[in-house]
Homo-oligomer: A and B are copies of this chain.
Amino acid sequence: MAGQRSQESYIDVSRPSRNPGPDGIIRRSDRTPDTPPGLSRYQQSVLHQGRIERFFLDNIKKYSNDRIKVERGVAPASLEINETEVNDPTAYPLTVELRHLTEEEATAKQHGGGDVSDGLFRSTGEIVHAKYVIGCDGASSWTRRTLGFKLEGESTDFIWGVMDIIPFTVFPDIRERTIIHSAENGSLMVIPRENNIVRLYIQLVEVKPDAAGARADRSSITPKQIFNAAKKIFHPYEINYDWCDWWTAYQVGQRVGTNFDAHGRVFLAGDAVHTHSPKAGQGMNVSMQDCYNLCWKIALVTKGIAQPSILKTYQSERRRVAQDLIDFDHRFSRLFSGRPAKDIMDTEGVSMDDFKESIMTGHLFFQGLSINYGPSNLITKPGDTGKQGDGSEVAQSTNISAELFAKRQALATGLPIGMRFASFKVLNQSDGRPWHFQERLKSDGRFRVVLFAGNILDPAQKTRVDEFCASLDAPNSFLRRTKGELIDSVIEVLTVHSARRHSVELLRDFPEVLHPFDNKFGWSYDRVYTDDISVHEGFDDAYKNYGIDKERGCVVIARPDQIVAWVGELEDFDDLQAYFEGCLVLPESTDGVNGNSP
């Protein structure tokens, strides 16, 4: 969006006063770290949505060798589902009629968006026969409406304005994420951006919807009105600006879609199935995570590698996340927009302790750490699929008892099944290079079997590892029956042992299935790692942090999206096999048809 120099300068912007406001009028109730320490090795940062989109566009171009292009100005006109074909993996049961819009039609009206169904179409048409359709078409999703699905939930009465400006102010916390609760004039959030730009979320207490729960008329709201609200909240600190990069106004609404897919063929993602307050910073993030959850599943089913039943888990996993997020946002936005600060001001209003606790819960969402997917044929867990998912039915490959589950989970207490694979540093056995283990769980559509091989210098343990590897390498092993060209095309086996790196050697001490041979590239040197001390970074705590016994180890499955799916002993090979038989397409033994070892 093009920036704009303010048409209405409120003050002499050439030289704001350096005179600070009186101390203590705005009381700093607390300071908390921007990212709570210990949650993640990454820190939060604010990136403009346009930059994220640019990363995607650049990488789509790069990884598709310029073959995949994003087309703009294309609108759907109709979607038909041939229900007799939806269970046939070779069929194209979807027919979509597209209209390529003229430039005039495709240009959205400012602060509203053109309704493409208006007016006369001079555009050209196109018919597409598709296996799958994903509707990421926003809160007023055409795809959702065409399928007849609804968003359920409500609007709040809170109206907010947003402005991206370069502020001139002596307010001391202008370059920190700051929340101001004013006594009478509403709340405000400061989010610093690049190039001295600051995003302000400003509650507009003077704008009201016509009736409780109804939609306010946002078309009458001006930047002057929004900024005047901000000035009242900042008072007695002065704030002015000369440059406004962008602005908008919105009414907070919290809604979740009733259905996330139709026939396992048409899927909805993002705002099309969940809308909430933008302040939680979760609009783009949760939407990208929806697609991250969905796309590897569709890819594996389309390639005939995985069973179509796994597609059911998209709704059970992601609708539950959306419900949890909306519940959080419901509480949070009321705390945010409510009257302020009873602990501080000694009056009625929102408790700052409640508010801070709510922000901490929010951080778990922000970091993706609150996700805990329920049982399915992709997650080996006991319990009610409805309670842990969104209530919809999914397949289950193995029924695991609560007792057995607890025993298995105890083998790796730091890797909760259903949650994200935590990352700690390990050393490559062959070259000693330190890696965050998660860097080796690349999002390339492959499952990983992670063999925590324990202390392979102990002869008894070495025997356990050898026996596990013999099962893995046998012709009827799931590993040799996957539909990939190479032994590691669908499932990659990674090893983390706990012996000192210099006390063992890759080729001498590890069976070849753990570092397969390729006729061009030789043995793999990137599969076997050790939990050893680095000369540079001094770790040696991966087993400890994963809660795994350093002598005996265990085996873990990570899904292509890095979610822990299964934990077991080295002796639990049959159950490991059952996991993959429950979600992948595994032909009967074919004597290593896909193997690259003879």
Contacts and interface: CB of A to CB of B under 8 A. Distances in A.
A335 to B, nearest CB: 24
Interface string A506-529: 111000100001011111010000
B519 A598 contact: no
Contacts of A112: none
A290 interface: no
Given A166-B522, A520-B166, A525-B196, A172 B536 contact: no
A440 interface: no
A220 interface: no
A104 interface: no
Interface in A1-22: 13-16, 18, 20
A592 to B, nearest CB: 15
A170 interface: yes
A66 interface: no
A594 to B, nearest CB: 18
Given A18-B512, A35-B536, A508-B20, A522 B196 contact: yes
Given A37-B536, A520-B243, A536-B37, A176 B18 contact: no
Among A35, A174, A512, residue most surrounded by chain B Cβ atoms (within 10 Å): A174
A63 to B, nearest CB: 18
Given A43-B536, A430-B175, A521 B35 contact: no
Given A15-B598, A166-B521, A507-B18, A192 B33 contact: no
Contact of A196 (B13, B507, B521): B521
A92 interface: no
A31 B500 CA distance: 14
A536 B37 CA distance: 6
Contacts of A16: 522
A34 B428 CA distance: 14
Nearest to A170: B507
A35 B14 CA distance: 53
Contact of A536 (B33, B175, B519, B521): B33
The complex is assembled from copies of this chain, and their number is: 2
A521 B195 contact: yes
Contacts of A37: 535-536
Contacts of A14: 519
A172 B519 contact: no
Nearest to A198: B522
A431 interface: yes
Given A18-B512, A31-B502, A525 B430 contact: no
A431 B176 contact: yes
A338 interface: no
A103 interface: no
Given A15-B598, A172-B505, A507-B172, A520 B33 contact: no
A532 interface: no
A519 B196 CA distance: 12
Contacts of A428: 175
A598 B14 CA distance: 10
Interface string A170-187: 101011100000000000
A288 B185 CA distance: 59
Nearest to A241: B522
Contacts of A535: 33, 37
B431 A175 contact: yes
Contacts of A15: 517, 598
Given A507-B172, A536-B43, A242 B34 contact: no
Nearest to A512: B18
A31 B167 CA distance: 57
Interface string A521-554: 1110100000000011000000000000000000
A174 B430 CA distance: 8
Interface in A341-393: none
Contact of A172 (B31, B508, B512): B508
A168 interface: yes
Nearest to A36: B535
Contacts of A223: none
Contacts of A525: 175, 196
A278 interface: no
8 contacts: A15-B517, A15-B598, A20-B508, A37-B536, A167-B522, A175-B431, A192-B431, A196-B521
Interface of A: 13-16, 18, 20, 31, 33-35, 37, 43, 166-168, 170, 172, 174-176, 192, 195-196, 242-243, 428, 430-432, 502, 505-508, 512, 517, 519-523, 525, 535-536, 598
